[in-house]
Structure 1
Amino acid sequence: MLFFLITSFLLTALDFAAKRLALIYLKGGLEITLIPHVLKLIYGENTGAAFGILPAARWFLILLAVIVLLVVLWYVQKERCRSRWQYNGLIFIFAGALGNLIDRILYGYVVDFINLPRWPTFNLADIFIDIGAALLIIYLIGSAEKET
C-alpha cells in the first residue's frame, strides 16, 4: 500500500507542477509549439469532465472523484491486486483522478494545456487516467484468456 500511495502522489505532484507552469506561462495567451502541426502547449480551463462533457458540474465531479479515490483505496487495501497490470492501472487512475480533483477544488475547473489538432486540450492527469484504463483492459483481457 505504501508503494501505491508514494507512486500515486509522485505522479500527482508531476501533474500539479505541469499545471502550475501552464498557469504561470500559458494563461496569458502564450502558445508553445513543440512539434509543428502536431503538438503545442496552450492554456485551457475545463469546467466539465473529459472532452468537456458535463459542463458546470463541479460539485458532482468532485463527489464522483472522491468516490473513485475511496473505492480504489479500499480495493487495493482489501482485495490485493492480482497482477502488476491491475495494480499499476489503479495507481495511474488514482493519480489522475486526484490531480483533476485538486484542480476542481482549488480553481473550480481543471487546467488543460496539451493540444493536438482536432482533439480537445488535455493534461497529464487525463493521460494518467487513460494509461490506467489501458492497463486495466490489458489485465482483464489476460484474465479472460486464463479462464478459457
Structure 2
Amino acid sequence: MDMRDRINTALKTAMKEKDKERLSTLRLINAAIKDRDIAARGEGDDSGVEDSDVLQILGKMVKQRQESAKAFEEGGRIELADKERSEILIVEEFLPRQLDAKETETAIDAAIAETNAESIRDMGKVMGVLKAKYTGQLDFGAVGGKIKAKLG
C-alpha cells in the first residue's frame, strides 16, 4: 500500500470514528500532497507525487509544527503548543522510524564510502545518497554537520 492509500484509509477511519482532531490533521496532509501534485502538473509532470515526495512533505510538516509548538510555548500559549504536538504524533505515524545516533553514523559512513567522498566538495553526493535511501528517517539538517565533520 503506497503512502496516499495509507493516508486515505486513515482519513476514512477518522471520519467513521468522528475523530475531529485526527481528521483535521489528515486533511492537512492530503491538502499538502495535492498542492505538490498541482505544482508538478504545472511543471509538466502528470504522474503526481511519489512516496519519497510524500515523505518529504510529512517531514516538513513535522518540522513546521515543532517550530510552531516552540513559539507557542515561548509565548505562553500552552494549549496551542499541545495541539501542534498532537498533530506531530499523527503525522509521524506515516513516517518511517527515525534512525538512532549509531545507525545515523553507520549510514553516513556507508554513503561516504559509496561515493568515494574525500572532501567537503563531495558533500552533495553524500547527501544525495542519504536522501535516496533514508528520506523520512534522518534529520538532514543535523546530518549535514556530521558529514562536514567527517569530510572537513
What TM-score, normalized to structure 1? 0.32
Structure (1 or 2) with the greater helix fraction: 2
From the CA coordinates, give the structure whose radius of gyration is larger. 2
Higher relative contact order (CA 8 A, sep 6+): 1
Which structure carries more strand by proportion? 1
